[in-house]
Chain A
């Protein structure tokens, strides 16, 4: 897990061939299942103490209890609200700044240098400052998530716009497109694949930021649930919290993939 968001401009990765993936899928489950069985065995025989790590069965049972008594649901709602609003703020900032610096020379001249400098800061290291600025309520958590989202979106949107094939822009000029039409039909669509890569990275950093912010201080949410459990050596609850974080991350990733498939229908597959 990286603590810095430097170098978040990645290339859109190509999907592996569908056929090969389908065939391999059942085989790929062999070792993970074996590991879980081994884990359960270690717990049952007492090799692995529940103070270090609870057994898979215990974890499953605690998960059931936490769901039943509503604790998990409540924590879940709090955390997801934080990510939602943090993402909204950071996303808006990233997109507005990315468009401004991607589409206008002046925007780029004025905006790009400071953003490129700031992005080298490990944004999770900003927590002390955010706490000084915003106190210990919801604001520093939203700010951290927003910062984690804004940079990858800005960088990828900006890079995507800059990568526009000049040949297409030239063709559009000769064919009589207005400037507005060139932006809408040529520049922005060609930035979409890279922007979606940025979106996926942004979701990744959003969850990471949330986890870190909630560990530092929180009186509600998944991070609070985990921290509280630690005080009582409840490793089962800690793991449940982690699994929920992971599932949330997987869900948003799947959503972006779904979006990619819809929006990038024009790509040859």
Chain B
């Protein structure tokens, strides 16, 4: 089967500073990959390249299918109603119906005709997710979409994302700072450091995962991020 994402020798420099340094990465269709790494290590840069927003690179980054992205900020058009934000760019005659269905999936049915600025942060983020999903992407890029949310909303969003992923089966590349989040959701965890993938963890725990079940592997992932848990705890 064709890969959902295949990246070979990807190098990206801003002036003299090399941000991505020869990345090799393959993602299978339907695979859930989490990307971990310190702030500034190039995670967003990689996602932007995969989304086709930055073509000034060395090496190759191929994403044969359709791509969709949810940014850390929801980036909704404040002057278009919620449903319109979801259906714009789809070019479907039944745009509103499609949008309403997507809103149902993220449990926001009542907000179809709301202005985006009246939504709470979590609601806006869910709209952004609905907007990404409604394109039925082969590859879904999520750049810290839960970063700005409170712990409770985050939990709800984890379930939602896992649920939607299980139903639509896109390949997912999730950028996060949160190791637990990665362990709860991903099939595979990549650790990025100084522009290279320095570690790969396969997470074979059965789903749905509970917090307790991931604790043991958490220590090993954290060690790769340079955090000694025994000491920290």
Q: How far, in Å, is B74 (CB) from chain A's closest CB?
A: 9
Contacts A175-B68, A175-B89: A170 and B77 contacting too (C-beta < 8 A)?
no
Contacts A175-B131, A176-B90: A185 and B117 contacting too (C-beta < 8 A)?
no
B71-115 CB mask vs A (1 if < 8 Å, else 0) is: 101010111100000001111000000000000000000000001
Contact partner, A185, options B53, B88, B90, B116, Cβ 8 Å: B88
B52 touches A (CB below 8 Å):
yes
Contact partner, B78, options A167, A170, A175, A267, Cβ 8 Å: A267
Q: How far, in Å, is B82 (CB) from chain A's closest CB?
A: 11
Inter-subunit contact A181/B89 (CB<8 Å): yes
Inter-subunit contact B80/A168 (CB<8 Å): no
Inter-subunit contact A170/B53 (CB<8 Å): yes
Q: How far, in Å, is B193 (CB) from chain A's closest CB?
A: 26
Inter-subunit contact A175/B77 (CB<8 Å): no
Contact partner, B53, options A174, A177, A189, A267, Cβ 8 Å: A174
Q: How far, in Å, is B96 (CB) from chain A's closest CB?
A: 15
Inter-subunit contact B51/A266 (CB<8 Å): no
> Which residues of chain A are within 8 angstroms of B189 by Cβ–Cβ distance?
none
Inter-subunit contact B79/A266 (CB<8 Å): yes
A171 touches B (CB below 8 Å):
yes
Inter-subunit contact A168/B77 (CB<8 Å): yes
B27 touches A (CB below 8 Å):
no
- Considering the complex, which residues of chain A in the window 150-208 have a beta carbon less than 8 Å from any beta carbon of chain B? 167-168, 170-177, 181, 185-186, 189-190, 192
Inter-subunit contact B67/A174 (CB<8 Å): yes
Q: What is the number of residues of chain B that contact chain A, defined by CB distance less than 8 Å?
A: 23
Q: CA of A249 to CA of B202 in the docked complex: distance in angstroms?
A: 70
Q: CA of A168 to CA of B67 in the docked complex: distance in angstroms?
A: 17
A28 touches B (CB below 8 Å):
no
Contact partner, B79, options A167, A174, A189, Cβ 8 Å: A189
B129 touches A (CB below 8 Å):
no
> Which residues of chain A are within 8 angstroms of B39 by Cβ–Cβ distance?
none
Q: CA of A161 to CA of B79 in the docked complex: distance in angstroms?
A: 15
Inter-subunit contact B88/A177 (CB<8 Å): yes
Q: CA of A268 to CA of B117 in the docked complex: distance in angstroms?
A: 6
Inter-subunit contact A176/B135 (CB<8 Å): yes
B118 touches A (CB below 8 Å):
yes
Q: CA of A192 to CA of B78 in the docked complex: distance in angstroms?
A: 12
Inter-subunit contact B77/A185 (CB<8 Å): yes
Q: CA of A168 to CA of B51 in the docked complex: distance in angstroms?
A: 14
Inter-subunit contact B71/A175 (CB<8 Å): no
Inter-subunit contact A168/B79 (CB<8 Å): no
B127 touches A (CB below 8 Å):
no
Inter-subunit contact B88/A174 (CB<8 Å): no
Contacts A185-B77, A268-B117: A176 and B91 contacting too (C-beta < 8 A)?
yes
> Which residues of chain A are within 8 angstroms of B157 by Cβ–Cβ distance?
none
> Which residues of chain B are within 8 angstroms of A171 by Cβ–Cβ distance?
69, 71, 75
Inter-subunit contact B75/A168 (CB<8 Å): yes
A105 touches B (CB below 8 Å):
no
Inter-subunit contact A175/B88 (CB<8 Å): yes
Q: Which residue from chain A places its CB closest to the CB of B66 in the assembled complex?
A: A176
> Which residues of chain A are within 8 angstroms of B90 by Cβ–Cβ distance?
176
> Which residues of chain B are within 8 angstroms of A170 by Cβ–Cβ distance?
53, 75
Q: How far, in Å, is A191 (CB) from chain B's closest CB?
A: 11
Binding site for A on B (CB under 8 A): 51-53, 67-69, 71, 73, 75, 77-80, 88-91, 115-118, 131, 135
9 inter-chain pairs at a CB distance below 8 angstroms, sorted by A residue, are A171-B75, A173-B52, A175-B88, A176-B89, A190-B79, A192-B79, A266-B115, A266-B116, A268-B118
Which 4 A-B residue pairings sit nearest by Cβ, starting from the closest?
A: A189-B79, A175-B89, A171-B75, A176-B89
